Structure 1
Amino acid sequence: MRIPPRHGPLLFGLIVSAIMTCFVSAVSVALGMAPDFAGYLPRWLRAWAMSWLIAFPLLTIVAPRVRLLVARMTGSA
């Protein structure tokens, strides 16, 4: 099953926001738990879910505007 190209920007935002928040929340939780890592996984999963709930909608709003800004700044618009 292929996803229609018109959904590309939304899919891009979904994937990028999931990857970014995964790594950022993992580091944030690890830094906040030192030296006791008991309960790391549940805390990290909760932090990732909350981060992603904010990052995904924000990215879908901001990314098109940033692409336009970059295109204007580089003269490719």
Structure 2
Amino acid sequence: MEAAIDRIMQTYDLLLNRTAAASDEARAKVTEYVATLVEAGETDPHRLTVCGLTYLRQLDGSNDPVKGGYTGL
């Protein structure tokens, strides 16, 4: 689980330029989320990494198509 969290945070830090406090907060949130996935039976570290990155991007709104300029037209 720790390897997946480390990979998530390394990748997420490359995507966004954030303060150390924001990075620590994101790590705490994704650690709790990944722990929930592991408790539910997910063991694949690659899948945990993808799910964790998706979770963080949903939290910060960076994968919102409307914010990204997509209008559907």
Give TM-score scaled by structure 1 length.
0.38
Q: Which has the higher helix share?
A: 1
Work out which of the two has the higher radius of gyration on C-alpha atoms and give 1 or 2: 1
Give TM-score scaled by structure 2 length.
0.40
